[in-house]
């Protein structure tokens, strides 16, 4: 099983690394959708089943790796000539990732939930399960509040300069450097049983930064965890658990909005296929990531983020990719 996970994880890394190699396709043209260019503003109604499966694969590969799923879902389809699928579609297919993380961590979630309820009944507020549940709840508040603020005060966030490919490239490079510093300075001496409320709050604040494309929710929380001297696998595990409420809320809100606005010519099938694809590859990514971090550091992701950002900036400078 461990050997299989290692092989699958190597496949994941190869797939992720191939993301920035898609830019040369811009020069050759795209036979799958030749009528679209990098400047097109593709809506969810224009996504076909094949594209939906590929976008689900990209979402699944990158949601739980610290390389930013939002950035890849923005850059990869644009580089392939499909256009930007938009915030709503991106958030909805994250429901597949939520299904995967619920599946993988079901025992942990059951233990924390039942333990927290038992602690409340017994007024045992020092219980590890209770403190874990409260930490996750408090850690979810920053991203929920900031997300609602963006929804209210920046209604055209889809077209915000903060979602431009230039901004994504710069953010990817900055976060890569921070991750490298955290790997270098982190003492990695605290395990899962040593987590407390403060850890939940700090990692929750780090998670809120992921609303900026290119930051990466798992990347920002993993980096914060390493700075707090958590073991790599512990930081990743808590990051995955912490992300469940936030990603679920975002996905459900956008799903309701998408269904209310209508799916246009796309229909429900591409959306379903994207979610299924996302769920499958997310599960593989979770298993591979945790197995990897038990023995290896995060340098491969640091170098990937730097190369990803530099490749985007190079493609923009060469005129192969638009900055919007």
Q: What is the pLDDT of residues 91-121, one digit of tens each?
A: 788 889 989 999 999 999 999 999 999 999 9
Residue 292 lies in a domain: yes
The pLDDT of residue 34 is 30
- Domain residues for 223? 2-317
> Quick one: which of 14, 68, 8 has its CA closest to 218?
68
Residue that is written with structure tokens 């996302």 in the block: 278
Measured in degrees and rounded to the nearest 5, phi and psi for residue 31 equal -70, -20
Residue 102 belongs to a domain: yes
For residue 69, being part of any structural domain is answered with yes
Among 9-18, 148-157, 167-176, 255-264, which stretch is predicted with the lowest mean pLDDT? 9-18
User: In this predicted structure, which of 8-12, 76-80, 135-139, 289-293 has the lowest mean pLDDT?
Assistant: 8-12
Select from 251, 162, 175, 173 the least CA-distant residue to 211.
162
The two structure tokens encoding residue 63: 């949601």
> 223: closest CA among 170, 168, 173, 186?
186
Residue 72 lies in a domain: yes
Tokens of 61: 């590969």
The answer to whether position 322 is within a domain reads no
pLDDT at 224: 96
53 part of a folded domain: yes
Q: How confident is the model at residue 287 (pLDDT cuts 50, 70, 90)?
A: very high
Q: Examine the pLDDT at 288 and tell me if it is beyond 90.
A: yes
248 CB neighbour count, 10 Å cutoff: 18
pLDDT-derived band at 259, boundaries 50, 70, 90: confident
Q: Does residue 323 form part of some domain?
A: no
Chain segment 134-174, per-residue pLDDT in tens:
999 999 999 989 988 888 888 777 778 888 889 999 999 99
- The answer to whether the beta carbons of residues 280 and 11 sit under 8 Å apart is no
Total count of domains within the chain: 1
Q: Is residue 113 part of a domain?
A: yes
Q: What is the mean pLDDT of the chain?
A: 82
Query: Is residue 215 scored above 60 in pLDDT?
Result: yes
């Amino acid at each position: 099983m461990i050997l299989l996970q290692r092989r699958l994880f190597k496949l994941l890394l190869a797939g992720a690394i191939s993301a920035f190699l898609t830019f040369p396709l811009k020069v050759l043209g795209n036979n799958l959708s030749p009528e679209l260019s990098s400047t097109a503003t593709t809506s969810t109604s224009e996504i076909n089943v094949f594209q939906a499966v590929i976008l689900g694969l990209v979402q699944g590969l990158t949601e739980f790796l610290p390389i930013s799923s939002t950035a890849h879902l923005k850059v990869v389809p644009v580089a392939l000539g499909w256009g930007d699928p938009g915030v709503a579609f991106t958030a909805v297919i994250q429901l597949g990732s939520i299904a995967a993380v619920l599946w993988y961590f079901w025992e942990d979630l059951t233990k924390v939930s039942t333990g927290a309820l038992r602690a409340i009944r017994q007024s045992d507020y020092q219980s590890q399960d209770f403190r874990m549940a409260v930490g996750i709840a408090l850690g979810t508040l920053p991203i929920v509040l900031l997300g609602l603020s963006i929804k209210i005060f920046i209604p055209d966030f889809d077209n915000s300069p903060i979602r431009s490919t230039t901004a994504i490239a710069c953010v990817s490079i900055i976060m890569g450097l921070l991750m490298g510093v955290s790997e270098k300075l982190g003492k990695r001496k605290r395990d899962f049983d040593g987590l407390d409320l403060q850890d939940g709050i700090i990692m929750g604040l780090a998670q809120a930064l992921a609303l900026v494309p290119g930051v990466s929710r798992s990347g920002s929380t993993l980096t914060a965890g390493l700075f707090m001297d958590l073991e790599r696998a512990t930081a990743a595990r808590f990051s995955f658990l912490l992300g469940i409420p936030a990603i679920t809320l975002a996905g459900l809100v956008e799903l309701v909005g998408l269904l209310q606005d209508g799916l246009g010519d796309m229909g429900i099938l591409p959306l379903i296929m994207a979610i299924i694809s996302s769920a499958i590859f997310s599960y593989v990514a979770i298993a591979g990531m945790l197995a990897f971090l038990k023995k290896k550091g995060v340098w491969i992701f640091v170098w990937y983020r730097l190369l990803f950002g530099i490749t985007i900036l190079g493609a923009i400078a060469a005129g192969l990719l638009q900055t919007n």
